């Protein structure tokens, strides 16, 4: 198994993180979400949003020495943009990213955190102790919706 480095994300990482997120969404969400939903995810996780998270939140990346293989962000009491490269999923990278972000939330004095989980990622978050607060649907127009789970964890 490759040893990963976990470090704060810097602005120079934004393009590589955006590419990681897009590739992960296209591969991992295929067959689960509609093409319209996948395109929404890709637009939603654009480079400008990633840069905003670097400036306004706590964003980290997992690196395998050559490239970024995972990312996660804490903004306020919300955890966002948790993605792991498809070929590296199942190796514990997502769990480690989440532990780092949750440790940061605790040390910041937060009593609870929330996140919006895709249908694909719900099980991982439940394994970490998160519970579903509500099932939601984002209206994409033309009769298309994007289902997701609002989840929370008391720290």
Domain assignment of residue 58, given as a range:
5-154
Report the domain count for the chain: 1
Specify the CATH number for the domain of residue 119: 3.40.630.30
For 16-40, what is each residue's pLDDT tens digit?
999 999 999 999 999 999 999 999 9
* pLDDT beyond 90 at 2: no
Nearest to 16 by CA among 80, 78, 59: 59
The pLDDT assigned to 60 comes to: 97
The pLDDT assigned to 66 comes to: 87
For 95-121, what is each residue's pLDDT tens digit?
999 999 999 999 999 999 999 999 999
Q: What are phi and psi of 91, to 5 degrees?
A: -100, 0
Nearest to 119 by CA among 46, 44, 41: 41
For 122-148, what is each residue's pLDDT tens digit?
999 999 999 999 999 999 999 899 999
The pLDDT assigned to 126 comes to: 96
Question: The pTM is what?
Answer: 0.93
d(CA 140, CA 56): 27
């Amino acid at each position: 198994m490759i040893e990963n480095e976990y470090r704060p994300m810097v602005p120079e990482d934004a393009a590589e993180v955006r590419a990681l997120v897009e590739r992960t969404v296209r591969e991992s969400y295929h067959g689960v979400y509609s093409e319209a939903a996948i395109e929404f995810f890709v637009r939603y996780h654009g480079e400008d949003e990633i840069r905003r998270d670097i400036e306004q939140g706590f964003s980290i990346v997992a690196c395998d020495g050559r490239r970024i293989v995972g990312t996660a962000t804490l903004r306020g009491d919300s955890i966002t943009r948790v993605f792991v490269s498809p070929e590296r999923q199942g190796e514990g990278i997502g769990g480690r990213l989440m532990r780092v972000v949750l440790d940061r939330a605790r040390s910041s004095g937060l009593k609870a955190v929330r996140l919006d989980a895709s249908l694909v990622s719900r099980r991982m978050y439940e394994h970490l102790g998160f519970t579903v607060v509500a099932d939601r649907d984002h209206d994409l127009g033309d009769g298309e919706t994007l289902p997701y789970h609002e989840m929370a964890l008391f720290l």
